[in-house]
Structure 1
């Protein structure tokens, strides 16, 4: 029998719009979680403010208060806040002492109004796409504080604590042939690896398998995370996803290449033409199954439109009483094969197979659930 599975996609902090790259990974995690939950216990871990104490987030909040103290962020859209984030990334970094108060407030569960506004918009996107909201309203800090985490990892010989000597803290996966990786700077700032581990490590005793989903660009960092979790006794699988190029270029959101490619830019017009259900399914199919898993083509509105039309036809063909839970569980389990989880790419490509392993109606119910079908 498959044990309890913990699904943990890399977290996108609420400082910019959800890009096609973000959505490819998040929709993959959503499909994996939904389909796996049809045949075993599974937890989706997604805490968007997990990295609030990092320079990337806390530094952005300090920048906003210093440069734009009078802006009413609740009147801005995610693109407007994203533009401020691009400016922040191009500006000189504030000293550690200026960021420290924001780190302390974040540790107490506080979030800046700009990020709260982005999270409000993201919750609407999740509802529109029928995605599982695993914690967009969760403002708590990571479960395991940095100091406790460093002591635990040091005892297991996967951490080098240089703090007594005024040096950084390093994650040590050299036993796996990986380089030392700074986790806490000499001036005390923990990066996203520590907040990721602070979320994951306390949950290991309740799960038998951990599935990590991340960008290809984060491969080395996530190999280190997987090694650390393995030393602590976890069975870990990593799933890598390439970023989705826009205009032939695949870059991080901090560069602002998402302009004109936010969900409101392309999904809103499609919903008016084809309906919310077709767009929700079509976007999943396009980003997760339609784009290559290794060398994706650039995001294309034309191809997305084609997938939305296909999704609409499929929903029309499969209309009627939903399959019973046993049929859905059997379909999802067959798609998983020997793995403890259902692969999202395989699930979605099966929907359009000429000779499917499982009935399409059961697969559809497994990978998208009721929100898309109503």
Structure 2
């Protein structure tokens, strides 16, 4: 079997707030995807918080904290408290880029605000509890192509309109695909998250057979534009769109609140205490990836989560495991499992975590349960 090289590029969860069910669904989806796909392909995960540290969403929050709350000791704060400060920032007046630029420059040089350092420290504990394959996810430093180099590359392929000589914005031009122009650098020179994604992606394109973009539904338009640009630059691109998880019947952004009591720090401990860590890990994956499905119909519910954790325990018992499953144990890549997963991936070339999880629950495809759980889930 020829192993393809796949670059998996999910939109990152900005380290400015607590992890909610929506964030967990996103993180666990690509964790399962990468772990399962790695059995038959060479998977490279592109996920660096530093890539987007200079955006207004992150650098703007840092500037707000230093200006409005200069005396806070962030090491003593919970992620929920930092999330409340982020909501306060979102309600405040927008500062001009001239005031934001010093923070952006520091961020581009590798500086991390202590509030974000605290969030990442807490997230590492969560990732360990969740059994994520990389507990320091996003902690690397991204190598970004220079702004002028990226603009020149795009302009040469008629993929961008550079208004900078006239004091105007830079636009991505995907109009041949029926998509409107998209501002990626403002008139005052501030690059947004889409341009920064291109700064990181473009240098990597020639090293991979496939680029997989993973994002949530609300970003669909931007990712259609991004797909068009990358394809015109010669990349083979697939998209995987995920939906947000409703809370109390509403789908809201973290900046708007409504997540209080629904963060992993808020609901995990009693469930782990009742059922154990392995059952919790698997049950949360089953619930978020399969139980809630691809749509946005059902709200996150602790009683429903517990039902899925009970089902997870039965699966673990069926798989014949003892009290613990360790993803770092001996190699379980049998001759059969990689080929079975490759067939499940089909022409798209990667494992859809929703499809894999539903197949596992229905025992479709004859994939060995014990090996699959160990390799991709717990």
Q: Smaller-chain TM-score range?
A: over 0.9
Aligned to 1:39: 40
Q: Distance in 1 between matches of 2:247 and 2:259?
A: 8
Instruction: Encode CA deviations 1:129-174: one digit per residue, 9 max, x unaligned.
Output: 1112285463535521322211211111111111110000001111
Structure 1, 57-66 or 323-332: larger mean CA deviation: 323-332
Q: 1:362 aligns with which of 359, 362, 371?
A: 371
Q: What is the rounded CA distance, in whole Å, between the counterparts of 2:275 and 2:16 in structure 1?
A: 30
* Structure 1 equivalent of residue 52 of structure 2: 51
Per-residue CA deviation, residues 70-109 of structure 1 (Å, 9 max, x unaligned), is 1000111110100000000000011212110000001101
Q: Any idea what SS the aligned residue of 1:11 has?
A: coil
How far has the Cα of 1:365 moved from its partner?
2.9
Structure 1's unaligned 5+ residue stretches are: none
Question: Which moved further from structure 2: 315-324 or 6-15?
Answer: 315-324
TM-score, structure 2 length as denominator?
0.94
Q: Is 1:351 the counterpart of 2:352 in the alignment?
A: no
For residues 56 and 188 of structure 1, do their structure 2 counterparts lie closer, same or farther at Cα, with a shift above 3 Å needed?
same
User: C-alpha offsets along residues 314-367 of structure 1, whole Å, 9 cap, x if unaligned?
Assistant: 112213497443233233223213331111111111221155432222322332
Contact 2:12/2:49 (<8 A) preserved: yes
SS in 2 for 1:81: helix
How many residues were matched structurally?
369
Give the Cα–Cα distance (whole angstroms) in 2 for the partners of residues 311 and 135 of structure 1: 26
Q: Which moved further from structure 2: 316-325 or 31-40?
A: 316-325
Structure 1 range deviating more: 132-141 or 280-289: 132-141
Aligned residue number for residue 348 of structure 2: 339
1:330 maps to 2:339: yes
- Equivalence for 1:301: 302
- What corresponds to 1:208 in structure 2? 209
Q: Residues 178-327 of structure 1 correspond to what in structure 2 (within 5 A)?
A: 178-320=179-321, 323-327=332-336
SS at match of 2:361: coil
Confirm or deny: 8 A CA contact 1:32 1:341 kept in the other structure.
Answer: yes
| C-alpha distance in 1 between matches for 2:128 and 2:135 | 12
**What is the aligned-residue RMSD (CA, Å)?**
1.7
2:325 aligns with: none
Instruction: Tell me, yes or no, if the aligned pair for 2:238 and 2:348 is still in contact at 8 Å.
Output: no
- In 1, the alpha carbon distance for the partners of 2:276 and 2:340 equals 27
* Alpha-carbon distance between aligned partners in 1 of 2:273 and 2:336, rounded to the nearest angstrom: 33
Taking a change above 3 Å as real, the CA distance of residues 138 and 145 of structure 1, as seen in their structure-2 partners, is farther
Q: Could you list the runs of 5+ residues in structure 2 that have no partner in the other structure?
A: 323-329
Higher alpha-carbon deviation: 350-359 or 147-156: 350-359
**1-structure distance, mates of 2:136, 2:145:** 17
